[in-house]
Every structure is written in C-alpha cells, then in structure tokens.
Amino acid sequence: SFDIVLSSDVFEHIPKPYLAHREVYRILKKHGCHIFTAPFSPNQTKDDNRAFVNKENKIINIKTPIYHLDGIRPKKGALVFNVFGQEMLSKLKKIGFRVSVQTLFKPFRGILGNGAIVFIAQKN
C-alpha cells in the first residue's frame, strides 16, 4: 500500500479512467492521497468522452482527435480519450475518495499556466 500516488496529465489518455482511479484507490493506504492533474472544464457537467476502445481493441474517435505531446511518439502524440467535467468529481466520490481542488500558479515550483488545477483525492 502507498501513502501517495502522483500523476500529472495521465488519466485523460486512459480509455477507461475510472477503472484506473479504482485501482489507485485500492493500492492507497487508509487516508492516502492521489494527487493529480488532468484536463478539466469546471463549467462542464459531463466528461467530454472523445474516443473509446471497442471490443475488437480498435480505437474509435467520437470527436476530432486531440493529441498531447509525447516523448515516446513525438510525431503523433498521445490521444486524449477524455476531458473531464464535474462528473469526474462525483465519480471519484462514488469510488470512495474525498476530493479537493486546488488552483495553483507557482512558477518557481514548476506549476505553470494560468491557474493550474490540481486534484487531491484522499481515501477515506
């Protein structure tokens, strides 16, 4: 079991992110935290599901694909499956997390951008 799991802009690239969140919950110690960042639209009620993997293990794009920079695949990038909305917070609570949201801008600590959103999901 772990006290802390850190991830930065990873969960949007996972076809079924809530299965991954459940796994993080499983491996955390009681009161452990998953501290993470992910694309989030606070004014959006539902997650923006952009792609999925079908039964034949083929990626199906629902919307125009978005790719993030990827050091492993620099020419193509990493496909974004989801951009999260308020739905993410309720689904994390159903898994068992207590979730807080921090808006940070601390360039000297590597937190760049205009109000980077950091999620702290604590196991109850």
Per-residue pLDDT, averaged over 11-34, amounts to 98
- What was the pLDDT predicted at 76? 86
- What was the pLDDT predicted at 116? 76
- What was the pLDDT predicted at 74? 80
- What was the pLDDT predicted at 70? 87
Summary mean pLDDT of the chain:
93
E-strand spans in 45-110? Answer: 48-49, 51-53, 59-61, 67-68, 78-79, 82-83, 97-106
Q: Give the whole-angstrom CA distance, residue 35 versus residue 120.
A: 5
- Half-sphere exposure (CA, 13 Å, Cβ side) for 97? 27
pLDDT tens digit sequence for 90-112: 999 999 999 999 887 777 766 66
Question: Does residue 115 have a pLDDT over 70?
Answer: no
pLDDT tens digit sequence for 34-90: 999 999 999 999 999 999 999 999 999 999 999 998 888 788 899 999 999 999 999
- What was the pLDDT predicted at 19? 98
Contact 24, 122 (CB under 8 A): no
